[in-house]
A = this chain, B = another copy of it.
């Protein structure tokens, strides 16, 4: 039997959802059924959900509730409804923070995933425009403005990573796909040479590259095991020769790649 999990928020609920998923992942034997209710920005909406939860509390497997509300009254209402089945991030940590900081918390909704920080927000949009313009095979190559330039063979993960870096970190990330012509030589492609300090390389297991490319162009030379093997081999030689930091993307997610890259940039 699966366990119902409510994620309630006065705003996007993205943080509460992340926390719920992180915590519940510790119980891989269980099946959880997540139900997200964002933007519960009125007392009426919260009360309606509290009523629904109250009825479920009588079941054999009452629901778990993860919530993030800045309004103390709403938190109290939920606490009353859910008891120890309420996982409230603000309730858990805010009192200690208030004590340590020596100041009362101000209940401002939507600070995290909103656009209160207009500067960062427009940086993200700008960075996204940049990433889109400087994606694979783009003719515009204004690398002087890049915060980072990802290089690697086709389908090594450059594009999703660039978009993620733009959306989340506001970084102007360009990407340069290494093609046969680049891989035949021992020099870095000319256009990259003056931006060497901005380069981060992505590599990938040739077998996985083959699988990914097969989905795109089945039976092609591009997708063949030999071609994938050769490209990765040549690319890795190039990275080594020019001391470019390399991230192997075979077994890691976009988020993980992105965190490695931001760490690399900070270094």
Which A residues lie at the B interface, using CB under 8 A?
A: 3, 11-15, 18-19, 21-30, 38-39, 64, 68, 70, 84-85, 87, 89-90, 92-94, 96-97, 99-101, 103, 105-108, 110-116, 121, 124-125, 128, 132, 135, 159-160, 163-164, 167, 251-256, 259-260, 263
A101 CB contacts on chain B under 8 angstroms: 3, 27, 30
Whole-angstrom distance from the CB of A155 to the nearest CB of chain B? Answer: 10
Nearest residue, chain B, Cβ from A89: B19
Give the distance in Å from the alpha carbon of A201 to the alpha carbon of B116 in the complex.
24
Give the distance in Å from the alpha carbon of A83 to the alpha carbon of B135 in the complex.
47
Say yes or no: A87-B96 contact (C-beta < 8 A), given A18-B112, A26-B105.
yes
- For the complex with contacts A25-B112, A84-B100, 19 further pairs of A-B residues with Cβ separation under 8 Å are A15-B22, A19-B19, A22-B68, A22-B89, A22-B90, A23-B97, A24-B97, A25-B116, A26-B90, A26-B94, A27-B106, A28-B108, A29-B103, A30-B101, A64-B100, A87-B97, A115-B251, A124-B254, A160-B167
Whole-angstrom distance from the CB of A171 to the nearest CB of chain B? Answer: 14
Q: Is the CB of A256 within 8 A of B113?
A: yes
Interchain CB contact (< 8 A) of A26 among B13, B111, B128: B111
A-B contact pairs, 21 of them (CB 8 A): A12-B256, A15-B19, A18-B112, A19-B19, A21-B111, A22-B68, A22-B89, A25-B108, A25-B112, A26-B90, A26-B105, A26-B106, A27-B106, A38-B259, A87-B96, A92-B93, A114-B253, A114-B256, A121-B253, A132-B159, A163-B167
Give the distance in Å from the alpha carbon of A64 to the alpha carbon of B100 in the complex.
9
A251 CB contacts on chain B under 8 angstroms: 115
Q: Is the CB of B23 within 8 A of A90?
A: yes
Say yes or no: A15-B14 contact (C-beta < 8 A), given A26-B105, A132-B135, A132-B159.
no
